[in-house]
Structure 1
Amino acid sequence: MVVSQKKWALVYKQEYNWAAIFDMDGTLIDNTPYHFKSWQVLFKKHNLGELSKQTYYSEISGVPIMTTLKRLFGADQDEASLKELLNEKEEFYRKEYAPYVVAINGLESFLSEMKSDGVKMAMATSATFEDIDFILNKIPIRGDFDEIVNTSMVNRPKPNPDIFLKAAEKLNMPPERCVVFEDSLAGIKAANDAGMKVVAITTAHNANNLHPVDLVINDYTELTPHKLAQLFKKDEDERESA
């Protein structure tokens, strides 16, 4: 039987009736070592002691910079002082990372394929808009995203689910039809609490430490839109058989 092009298009769109939401740092680019180094420099300069990788990954990674600065320097610090500390940390990070900015292997092709297949996509990141522009001005993927959301647009930062729920709202997609790409423990918790599927990438943690998630990848060459669609099809099959 020959299926018309119009009918096939309708079937194809129905299969991909879900959305993808991407964190940025450590998820689209492998910049975690540079953020870690910039925090180490800030700790040393302001006599905060040594910053270990364990502390960075468990308490700082994935959390908005201003939230961490308030915790470290006191919530009673005036906004201007905190902003100065933020700029100090970020200027060092950008200077160190600028020569090495590159997308994680396979990302650009994967995003292009997702967009071509009609998958709605958003970026939801704890990064500042300055940092978002710093990355997207170097990697030509801005046009792949239908929406860009950052912490300034929600009341509660990661590990709360607000930022992912806001992204889903902007994409006009229910949370249970969204899959989140994350590298941080805070982000994974936020995605799970939002009721979304989770794909973890191993830029910051070993696969064994990334849970609970639906899928773990090392880079985007391991993924296709069809493979992601299977995460949602599994739920549909289970509902039908119940």
Structure 2
Amino acid sequence: ANSGSFHFAAWQETFAKRGVNFTKEHFTRLFGTRNDFIIRNVLGEELSEENVKSIVQEKEASFREKAKGNIKPFPGVVKLLNTIKRGNFKLALVSSAPKENIDLLSSELNLEGIFDCIVSGREVAESKPSPQIYLLAAEKLGAEPKDCIVIEDSPFGVKAAKAAGMRCLAVTNSHPKQDLEEADRVVDSLEKVDLITLIQRV
């Protein structure tokens, strides 16, 4: 979904209250990682766990306020998900975001019930590029990592998928092609991606 601009605005607002200018460069570099990873990267590793949790809650409340009613899917996403589902393949929604954000996006895009499992960043100890979140998704699906295909749009996400031993299709929604070249295939949009492309060409 086109949620990046709302995340960026929420981070800018949250960090500005703490005297930090959170730039587009910061956001692009850290995109796809977990909130605690971003906060410690920007404000320092010495922050207490309590402070980090407080900042996360503030930022995510701001994000949900900005995003509600304004979320739209990237072209081809919903059609591809429905095609995969009709093909009797299992689907997992895997995100570094907290569960509340995932629920909001699923509701806004009318995707409730389409996924066989949902895995949020809170369920694993390490943020992407660690493969933990994807390995947990495979475990929940009852699938071998080598049989899984990940659709990603961030360099950290691509690294995580490949480290998990999975195939990866990257989409240039938020990063240029050269930043995603570790993926098995990179496309500009999911509009022309079908099951044959996913299974045979990734």
Distance 1:67 1:138 in 2: 27
| AA matched with 1:57 | T
| Offset from partner CA, 1:24-55 (integer Å, 9 cap, x none) | xxxxx02112211221222222112x222222
Number of the residue aligned with 1:157: 127
Distance 2:45 2:6 in 1: 26
| Offset from partner CA, 1:184-206 (integer Å, 9 cap, x none) | 11111111111111111111111
User: Structure 2: where are the runs of 5+ without partners?
Assistant: none
* TM-aligned CA deviation for residue 83 of structure 1: 2.5
- Among 101, 111, 114, the alignment partner of 1:131 is 101
* TM-aligned CA deviation for residue 174 of structure 1: 1.2
Pairing of 1:158-177 with structure 2 (within 5 A): 158-177=128-147
The answer to whether structure 1 residue 189 and structure 2 residue 154 are counterparts is no
| Offset from partner CA, 1:63-106 (integer Å, 9 cap, x none) | 11123224444455444432321122122222222232112222
| Offset from partner CA, 1:142-186 (integer Å, 9 cap, x none) | 311111111222222211001111111111111111111111111
Pairing of 1:10-159 with structure 2 (within 5 A): 29-48=1-20, 50-58=21-29, 60-159=30-129
Asked if the contact 2:69–2:108 (Cα under 8 Å) also holds between the matched residues in 1, the reply is: no
The CA RMSD measured in Å over matched residues stands at 1.8
User: Structure 1: where are the runs of 5+ without partners?
Assistant: 1-28, 233-242
Q: Which has the higher contact order (CA 8 A, sep 6+)?
A: 1
Distance 1:67 1:152 in 2: 12
| AA matched with 2:4 | T
Q: State the TM-score, normalized to the length of structure 1.
A: 0.77
Indicate the SS of the match to 2:150. strand
| AA matched with 1:179 | I
Structure showing greater radius of gyration is 1
Distance 2:182 2:43 in 1: 32
The answer to whether structure 1 residue 216 and structure 2 residue 151 are counterparts is no
Query: How many residue pairs were aligned?
Result: 202
Return 122-131 or 214-223, whichever deviates more: 214-223
Distance 2:118 2:11 in 1: 25
| AA matched with 2:19 | N
- Among 193, 198, 202, the alignment partner of 1:228 is 198
Distance 2:200 2:130 in 1: 27
* TM-aligned CA deviation for residue 133 of structure 1: 1.1
Q: State the TM-score, normalized to the length of structure 2.
A: 0.91
Indicate the SS of the match to 1:112. helix
Indicate the SS of the match to 1:41. helix
| AA matched with 2:152 | E
